[in-house]
Amino acid sequence: MPTILITGGSGRIGSMLRQRLARPGRILRLLDITPPASPGPDEEVVVASVTDMAAMTEACAGVDAVIHLGGVSGEGPWDKIMEINIHGTYTVFDAARRAGVPRVIFASSNHAVGFTPRSAFPVPDYAFPAPDTYYGVSKVTGEALASMYHHRYGLDAICLRILSCFERPTTARMLSTWLSPDDAGRLFEACLTAERPGFRVAFGVSANTRGGWVSLDEARALGYEPRDDAEDYAAEVIAAHGAPDPDDPVFAYLGGEFTRPGYDAEHLK
């Protein structure tokens, strides 16, 4: 019976994916430091940290694919980012290798290339790293680990540079960057089922009317076709925040707010 291990199974995206990746005959093994709410009969729970090699290796036993979402989901102090996101992602890949898991899908982020300027939109799938934060650096490192584990050990390794995956768009930027929960489900399902994908880097975003900021070529090549559009929420977002102003510095780079001068670990303390 196919078993999928989801790290960060209790987190924002993990919680969205549980119902959307459930399939008859598929087990979702949810790993997190806090247990997920109400696990179903086809869900297994592992309470552990992604930094614990012994626990990760045990959790990878008999697994067909790992979806690695666990970690810090925004900017933080270097020590924390290094321990949880960088060392944790190494631990996940190496545990997968030790246990013979054939595929890892790594939740990277637009912040790996956050300092790509608007003049370079749509950002190509394999755009050279331009991280906007320590968090972005950890995503670049994760992509490098994915590449190494593919080339050295033959794992299929897909890096998804996710834009803004939330229940609904809540800011002017998200009218362009939103990835709906249902489209996220479609994207991860495509990554799980693509035939021998090898090493891939793809963006994750919905079919937003105000989008076109990033390439969807690799995501489509994996079998993803977005269906949702943040425009359905435009009236309420604009009522709350005003119409998007193209001169707002938040629109200067892909990474938006994360690229602002005050948005660093020092100031965010």
Pick from 18, 29, 68, 111 the residue near ligand 15L by CB under 6 A.
Answer: 111
Which residues, including other chains, have CB under 8 Å from residue 105's CB and lie 6 or more apart? 65, 66, 67, 68, 158, 160, 188, 191, 192
Burial class (CB in 10 A: 0-12, 13-18, 19+), 252: middle
Q: Which of residues 247-266 bind ligand 15L (CB under 6 A)?
A: 256
Residue 110 is a binding residue for ligand 15L (CB under 6 A)? yes
Pick from 138, 164, 176, 206 the residue near ligand 15L by CB under 6 A.
Answer: 164
Residue 7 is a binding residue for ligand 15L (CB under 6 A)? no
Which residues, including other chains, have CB under 8 Å from residue 100's CB and lie 6 or more apart? none
Residue 176 is a binding residue for ligand 15L (CB under 6 A)? no
Task: Centre a 10 Å sphere on the Cβ of residue 207 and count the other Cβ atoms it contains.
Answer: 16
Residue 73 is a binding residue for ligand 15L (CB under 6 A)? yes
- Residues touching ligand 15L, count (CB under 6 A): 9
* Beta carbon of residue 161, minimum distance to ligand 15L (angstroms, whole number): 9
* Beta carbon of residue 269, minimum distance to ligand 15L (angstroms, whole number): 18
Q: Catalogue the active-site residues.
A: 135
Which pair of tokens denotes residue 70? Answer: 């666990």
H or E segment to which residue 14 belongs:
helix 12-21
Residue 138 is a binding residue for ligand 15L (CB under 6 A)? no
Binding site for ligand 15L (CB under 6 A): 73-74, 109-111, 163-164, 177, 256
